[in-house]
Structures are given as C-alpha cells and as structure tokens.
C-alpha cells in the first residue's frame, strides 16, 4: 500500500478505482475516464493532486540560489504571485525534474521567498539535488507535507469555485491572470493547471481539504482521476516526467527550449555549458506531435520511421476523447518534416506530424 492523501476515504466513498502512483494510492477514475475528460473540457472537474511535493525556499540567497538551480530565470518573477515553468537540470543538461516556481514574497525585498511544486515520483532525488546545490548559498529548503492540493479545471472552474469560496478568496482571484497566484488566509490559490483548460490549483492545509472537496462536489464539480488527467495533458501537449523527458533528455529534445533563459549570458545555471554545446551542434532530436486519424491507437515506445531521415520513438500516446482519434508525442530526428510512419505490431501506419499541442480550451489547434 502507498501513502494516502487526506482525501483517500472520500475517493473510496465516491467509487474511485485506486492505483499506486509514485508511491501514493491515487484515484485512477470514478467509473468513466472518458466522461471525466469530457466534464473538464465542457464544464469543470476536480483532481486530488496532494501527492505533489511543495518546497519553500527562503533566506538571503533564495533568488541567487534559484537562478543557479533552474534553467529559467526567477529574476523574471518581478511581482508577488507570479509563476514560472522551468526545469532543474543535471550537469549534462538532462532534466532532473520539471516544476513550477512561485514568487511568494515581494521580489527584491528582504522578505523575498519562493515556492516550488515538483513531481511526487521524483521527490527524494529532487530534494537531494536541491540540497546539494544549496551548499554555497544562504538558503533554507522546507518541504510542506501539511499542505494538500486540489486542482479545479475547466471553462466553468472559477465560477464553480466562487460558489464555495469566502469573500476574501473571491476578491483574491477576481483579477488573477494566468500563471499567477495569491495567498489568502493560509491558502494559496493559483491560476495554473495541467489540462489545457482554465482553472485553479489550490494549496490548502490538510485539515481543511476534505471540507473543500465536499463543497465542490456539492456545487456540481465532478471528481476526476489520473487517467483523465493524462489524456487531458496529452491533448494539451504537456510533458509527463519519466515519459517525455528525464535525466537523459535535454530540454532541447523535449519541446522545452522556451523554458531556458539564455540571457543574461553571465548567469551560470546548472547544465548551461552542456546545453550550449548541444545547441551549437544543432542536431538534437525534437519532440513533435503525431496524429493518426484512422483506426488504431498510438502507444508509448512504438517506433517512428521517417523515410530517408531515420527513426524515433513515441514517448506518450493515447486516444483523444475530444478529437475522436489517436494522438501522440514522439521524439524524432530534427530533420523530420510533416509525415512519418509508426510500426504498430509489425504494420507501418502513416501519421501526420504537427506541433506538440492538439487541444486548448476545448478547441483543436493543429491544421
């Protein structure tokens, strides 16, 4: 048995199928993965994401430490509440983990501090790596296991949350733009998510999360499990750590080049030298989207054949409930153009290649 979130008993009462995920007992679905996916795309669904690891970074060198640790630059977080998507890299330029970092105190002030949300399956190595890299900085790293996390996602997510929110919470999110958060009475509410839809991720003290979950359910928000979360994130072209990138894969080969802050040139973040060499070579593989509109379902690890160029591999694949056909992410040679074939049980099936994003806010976004 794995670790259990504070919502475990409620998941059981709501009929969830429980599976192990990164050492946690988590809901796979509540009866219908497809319906949960549709609920998020059409209205609102909620996910228990309390398994995610929250780490607060404080101290006089918090900003300088994170500018060293992360490929993106926290100097871009010029206001309290702003968020940044980035990666921690190893010295070879591989992705130790991808994460979101929030500016929690006023940037540039003595009260400046940051909150990181990293993956649960990589918790131990992340904390170890973060500790190792902090040796020459005056910082404190504090894990926050007492915080639970609920994601409310979908076009109606904010409206549903406002039905159960306090007046101060409603005021805090009224002007909240995408990739910003606000602290309210021990809660932290951010306009972020992992579905390609609008919505909120709410960090709440564990003792209060059951009440929030039940209030949202009573208001009409549908509980959703890991299976729908995976098809939603894949439609949105969002990477899954361990599938689409890992310590052997650089951001340049994982459609994450946009998360690297190359300027200023004198910021020597971990992995920079290796990334610069890879960029100069210009021959790193790339992560693309695959579309199969005919019969069949694309799956991870299937071989991708690009005639006259070389071969690649599917990193994530599924049937898209929104589009009604199969889609995938695949790492292929950089010279790959607009078509390829996938080896499906010995049969070569033609697929089209697109940017690695398929659906945003319920709409198809590729040609």
Domain boundaries, the chain: 1-281, 285-364
Model confidence pLDDT, tens digit, residues 218-240: 999 999 999 999 999 999 999 99
* Distance (Å, whole) CA 329 – CA 205: 36
**CATH number of the 1-281 domain:** 3.30.1360.120
Q: Is the dihedral of CA 209, 189, 49, 325 positive or negative?
A: positive
In the structure encoding, which two tokens stand for residue 4, read together? 């259990």
- CA proximity to 104, closest of 89, 96, 114, 94: 114
What pLDDT score was predicted for residue 104? 96
CA separation, residue 336 to residues 197, 247, 288, 300 (Å): 30, 24, 9, 19
Q: How many CB atoms lie within 10 A of CB 138?
A: 12
Please tell me the pTM assigned to this model. Answer: 0.96
Q: How many CB atoms lie within 10 A of CB 364?
A: 12
| Alpha carbon distances (Å) from 90 to 117, 125, 247, 263 | 18, 11, 7, 19
Q: How far, CA to CA in Å, does 353 sit from each of 88, 181, 263, 347?
A: 29, 35, 31, 18
Report how far apart, in Å, the C-alpha atoms of 104 and of each of 80, 190, 204, 290 are: 5, 11, 15, 38
**Residue 318 pLDDT level (bands cut at 50, 70, 90):** very high
Res 245: pLDDT: 97
What would the pLDDT profile of 47-75 be if each residue is shown by its tens digit?
999 999 999 999 999 999 999 999 999 99
- As a whole number, mean pLDDT of residues 23-33 equals 97
The reported pLDDT for the residue numbered 332 is 98
Dihedrals phi, psi of 253, to nearest 5 degrees: -105, 10
Q: Where are the alpha helices (DSSP H) in 167-224?
A: 167-174, 206-219
Rounded to an integer, what distance in angstroms lies between the CA atom of residue 259 and that of residue 250? 11
List, in order, residues 6 or more apart from 4 with CB less than 8 Å away: 24, 25
* pLDDT single digits (tens) 88-120: 999 999 999 999 999 999 777 778 899 999 999
Quote the tokens at residue 284.
């790193």
End-to-end CA distance of the chain: 45
- What CATH number has the domain spanning 285-364? 2.40.30.110
Q: What is the pLDDT of residues 349-362, one digit of tens each?
A: 999 999 999 999 99
């Amino acid at each position: 048995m794995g670790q259990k979130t504070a919502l475990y008993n409620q998941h059981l009462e709501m009929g969830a199928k429980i599976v192990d995920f990164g050492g946690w007992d988590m809901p796979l679905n509540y009866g219908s993965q497809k319906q949960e996916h549709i609920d998020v795309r059409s209205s609102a669904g909620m996910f228990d994401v309390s398994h995610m690891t929250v780490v607060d970074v404080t101290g006089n060198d918090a900003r300088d430490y994170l500018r060293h640790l992360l490929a993106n630059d926290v100097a871009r977080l010029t206001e309290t509440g702003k968020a940044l998507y980035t990666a921690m890299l190893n010295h070879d330029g591989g992705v130790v983990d991808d994460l979101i970092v929030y500016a929690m105190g006023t940037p540039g002030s003595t009260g400046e501090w940051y909150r990181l949300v990293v993956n649960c399956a990589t918790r131990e190595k992340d904390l170890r790596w973060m500790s190792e890299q902090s040796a020459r900085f005056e910082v404190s790293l504090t894990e926050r296991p007492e915080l639970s996390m609920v994601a409310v996602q979908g076009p109606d997510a904010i409206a549903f949350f406002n039905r159960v929110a306090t007046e101060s919470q409603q005021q805090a999110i009224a002007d909240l733009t995408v990739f910003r958060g606000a602290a309210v009475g021990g809660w932290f509410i951010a306009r972020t998510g992992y579905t390609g839809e609008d919505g909120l991720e709410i960090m709440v003290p564990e003792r209060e999360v059951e009440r929030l979950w039940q209030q949202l359910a009573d208001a009409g928000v549908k509980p959703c499990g890991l299976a729908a979360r995976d098809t939603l994130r894949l439609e949105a072209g969002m990477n899954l750590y361990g599938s689409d990138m890992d310590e052997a894969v650089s951001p340049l080969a994982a459609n994450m080049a946009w998360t690297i802050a190359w300027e200023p040139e004198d910021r020597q973040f971990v992995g920079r030298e290796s990334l610069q060499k890879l960029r100069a070579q210009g021959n790193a593989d790339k992560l693309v989207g695959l579309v199969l509109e005919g019969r069949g379902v694309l799956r991870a690890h299937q071989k991708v054949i690009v005639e006259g160029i070389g071969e690649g591999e599917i990193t994530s694949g599924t049937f898209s409930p929104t589009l009604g056909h199969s889609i995938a992410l695949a790492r292929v040679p950089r010279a790959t153009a607009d078509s390829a074939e996938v080896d499906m049980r010995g049969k070569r099936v033609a697929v089209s290649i697109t940017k690695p994003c398929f659906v945003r806010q319920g709409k198809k976004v590729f040609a």
